[in-house]
Structure 1
Amino acid sequence: MEKLTNIQRLTDSGLVAVIRRPKAEKIAQIAEALVNGGVGALEITVDTPGVFSMIDKIKQEFGARVLVGAGTVLDAETAKAAIDAGSDFIFSPIVDEKTIEMTLRYGKISIPGVMTPTEIVKAYQAGADILKIFPASSVGPNYIRELKGPLGHIPMMPTGGVSLDNVTEFIKNGAVAVGVGGTLLNKQAIEENRFEILTETAQKFVSLIKSAR
């Protein structure tokens, strides 16, 4: 039941922030800025030093307001470590069936990365909850629309290259949510501690997602 509620929370917001290698001393401020902007899920990539304690900290601090999970997960062992740290979901750039199995075993949301129709169907049959179309910039919004013809029953979430310029088209073409990294996590703004810029950008994304629906 909790998992279904969490999937609903993720898709209602429609916006997942991809936080790659943040500095430990800034993660709480980054998280707060994004949550205030309406982000539904925070993904911290597992190549981040101290990622599991970061997930644990953010989950404890913001868990009631936002989903927190791990990204760039390539195997089941890493997925288990992320789940032990409190992850609500597991993001992968690939399809690894053992990772999907591990995620499902603990009742968490599985979001593997796919590109071809065959990968999409195989991952969905293996139990994936949402399919991350990655890298989305290589295929563009029309690709989602084309996939929705034969595979309309499978929830898809483009990630990689999603921006304020194309998010409307991705949602209109059938994406249930989008994963956004660089556009949302403005490096210079973070460096200068101008976290309000992250909030403003998130609000723009959320507003565009709402109107596209």
Structure 2
Amino acid sequence: MEQQQQIIEQIKKQRVLPLFYHDDTEVCVSVTRALYEAGIRVIEFTNRGKAAMDNFKAMHAAKKDGMSDLLLAVGTIRTADQAKSFIDAGADFLISPVFDADVCDMAYMHKVLWLPGCMTPTEIHVAENAGCKLVKLFPGNVLGPGFVSAIKELFPKMDFMPTGGVEVTEENIGAWFGSGVCAVGLGSKMISKTVLANKDYTTITRLAKEALTITANIKK
């Protein structure tokens, strides 16, 4: 549990969790390096394509070349089999878009941190009773900062991280942190399909630095 708490603390310290998927292995490794160059030390690679496992393994191998302190999560985990496969492949922790009891059990058995996706107070309640300390609020753009403000008092010991639609702007990120979240997941608003198609890694590094600067300037 101590290691799991350390990962949570690292997420809370970074305050931003970049997430992406791409079919091309070289692109995945290059995006990882671009994020690392910006100062990112925790990344979520989403399990959203048939090349996910092979590409994750390549990213995991690339860690040994100058990125040994990088934490790699695998997201969009929806089954126990997926959880087991990526744990075996070296995932530092797992993230899901839903609460799934089988995934929860698999992560628990392997002593791996798991962040479930929640959208309702009931789901958050179930996650808390299962021992989760940090949940992903998804989809963030549907829920909005007002949702966090409304339910946070109900779950004083729970940390929240919205994902989906969070934008790299002081106004948007500031609104989320003002509502009480501990971190924000940043996907297509930072690592867009256009940026990936153009292999524009400089823009990824720039936007990641901007996100880190924005969150660093927000009062905790």
Instruction: State the TM-score, normalized to the length of structure 2.
Output: 0.90
Aligned partners of 1:129 and 1:149: how far apart in 2? Answer: 15
Give the structure 2 partner of residue 101 of structure 1: 105
Is the Cα–Cα contact under 8 Å of residues 25 and 54 in structure 2 kept in the other structure?
Answer: no
Q: Equivalent residues in 2 for 1:42-81 (5 A)?
A: 42-62=43-63, 64-81=68-85
Asked if residue 31 in structure 1 is aligned to residue 32 in structure 2, the reply is: yes
Is the Cα–Cα contact under 8 Å of residues 33 and 196 in structure 1 kept in the other structure?
Answer: yes
Shift of 1:137: 0.4
Q: After the TM superposition, which parts of structure 1 deviate over 3 Å for at least 4 consecutive aligned residues?
A: none
Aligned partners of 1:45 and 1:37: how far apart in 2? Answer: 20
Aligned partners of 1:31 and 1:175: how far apart in 2? Answer: 25
- CA deviations 1:109-131 (Å, max 9, x no partner) are 11111011111010121122311
Aligned residues: 213
Is the Cα–Cα contact under 8 Å of residues 100 and 128 in structure 1 kept in the other structure?
Answer: no
Asked if residue 18 in structure 1 is aligned to residue 19 in structure 2, the reply is: yes
Is the Cα–Cα contact under 8 Å of residues 38 and 209 in structure 2 kept in the other structure?
Answer: yes
Q: In structure 2, which of residues 138, 150, 153 is the aligned counterpart of residue 149 of structure 1?
A: 153
Is the Cα–Cα contact under 8 Å of residues 24 and 55 in structure 2 kept in the other structure?
Answer: no
Asked if residue 117 in structure 1 is aligned to residue 121 in structure 2, the reply is: yes
| 2:29 maps to amino acid | A
Is the Cα–Cα contact under 8 Å of residues 157 and 178 in structure 1 kept in the other structure?
Answer: yes
Q: CA RMSD in A?
A: 1.6
Is the Cα–Cα contact under 8 Å of residues 43 and 71 in structure 1 kept in the other structure?
Answer: yes
Is the Cα–Cα contact under 8 Å of residues 55 and 69 in structure 1 kept in the other structure?
Answer: no
Q: Could you tell which deviates more after superposition, 46-55 or 161-170? A: 46-55
Shift of 1:35: 1.6
Identical positions, percent: 26
Shift of 1:59: 2.3
Asked if residue 91 in structure 1 is aligned to residue 91 in structure 2, the reply is: no
Q: Equivalent residues in 2 for 1:109-188 (5 A)?
A: 109-165=113-169, 166-188=172-194
| 2:106 maps to amino acid | M
Aligned partners of 2:31 and 2:6: how far apart in 1? Answer: 25
| 2:93 maps to amino acid | F
Is the Cα–Cα contact under 8 Å of residues 53 and 85 in structure 1 kept in the other structure?
Answer: no
Shift of 1:159: 0.5
- The runs of 5 or more residues in structure 1 that have no matched partner are none
Aligned partners of 1:169 and 1:39: how far apart in 2? Answer: 22
Aligned partners of 1:36 and 1:171: how far apart in 2? Answer: 25
| 1:13 maps to amino acid | Q
Instruction: State the TM-score, normalized to the length of structure 1.
Output: 0.93
Shift of 1:22: 4.1
Is the Cα–Cα contact under 8 Å of residues 114 and 133 in structure 1 kept in the other structure?
Answer: yes
- CA deviations 1:76-107 (Å, max 9, x no partner) are 11101010111111111111011012112212
Is the Cα–Cα contact under 8 Å of residues 156 and 177 in structure 1 kept in the other structure?
Answer: yes
Is the Cα–Cα contact under 8 Å of residues 68 and 88 in structure 1 kept in the other structure?
Answer: yes
